[in-house]
Amino acid sequence: MNLRLIQKVLVESADLVALAVCRRNQPKSDTITRRELYSLYDHGWLNYHIRRGNIVGQKAGPAKNSPIFYSRLQVEALRKAESFEANFK
């Protein structure tokens, strides 16, 4: 394993820790709608992981048209996990 890869993994892990701290201090700051997700990430990638259950949303209320919110931390963790997996192969 090369030193630059270890450094990259540690820096990206620190980013996830920062998101987790923000989530703990302000839980609302971690929630994001599907529309916002689509503006930040690739549509195909999101649809694939939502279908597979890797990204799970929670309805905001009991109504049929209540928005579904996703965790920014969960999405970023999945994205970084894929990146790490690609680097370690």
Tokens at 19, concatenated: 């998101």
The pLDDT assigned to 23 comes to: 86
Global pTM reads 0.80
The pLDDT assigned to 69 comes to: 93
The pLDDT assigned to 3 comes to: 80
The pLDDT assigned to 47 comes to: 93
Domain boundaries, the chain: 3-88
Q: Hey, how many other C-beta atoms are within 10 angstroms of the C-beta on 70?
A: 20
Each residue's pLDDT tens digit, 3-44:
887 888 888 888 888 888 888 888 888 899 989 999 999 999
Each residue's pLDDT tens digit, 36-68:
999 999 999 999 999 999 999 999 889 988 899
Query: Which phi and psi angles does 82 have, rounded to 5°?
Result: -65, -40
